[in-house]
């Protein structure tokens, strides 16, 4: 599978896998975050301001992310592998208005 250089994120996730992934906690659909949202999250990580649901400081930058349909939780993607563990989910509601400031992809299609 070739990566599309114009794709909104750097990750390379199979379309079929993305279509079946869901939030392990709420079972809501997830979709890829765009590059702007990724930069915002990685900046928060760099500044030591981002914690996961377990309350642990997120120290490793994200390669990408999958946002839950309600835009409240982002699951990290590292080395093209989605980390779909409840405690690894990153609460994002409250510190940024994702739809307006960062923009998340609403389609579940992965780059080819």
pLDDT level of residue 93 (50, 70, 90 thresholds):
confident
**Which pTM value belongs to this model?**
0.78
Handedness of CA 14, 24, 82, 71 (dihedral sign): positive
Instruction: Encode pLDDT of 33-77 as tens digits.
Output: 989 899 999 999 999 999 999 999 999 999 999 999 999 999 999
What per-residue string of b and e applies to 10-47 under the rule 16 or more CB within 10 Å gives b?
ebbbeeeebeebebeeeeebbbbbbbebbebbbebbee
pLDDT number for residue 5: 37
Structure token digits, residue 18:
């993305």
DSSP-derived secondary structure letter, 67 = E
More confident residue, 43 or 108: 43
């Amino acid at each position: 599978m070739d990566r599309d250089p114009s794709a909104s994120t750097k990750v390379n996730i199979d379309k079929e896998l993305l279509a079946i992934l869901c939030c392990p906690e709420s079972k809501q659909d997830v979709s890829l975050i765009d590059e702007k949202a990724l930069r915002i999250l990685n900046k928060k990580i760099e500044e030591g301001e981002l914690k996961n649901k377990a309350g642990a400081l997120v120290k490793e930058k994200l390669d990408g992310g999958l946002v839950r349909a309600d835009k409240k939780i982002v699951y990290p993607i590292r080395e093209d592998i989605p980390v779909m563990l409840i405690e690894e989910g990153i609460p994002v509601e409250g510190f940024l208005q994702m739809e307006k400031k960062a923009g998340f992809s609403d389609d579940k299609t992965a780059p080819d």
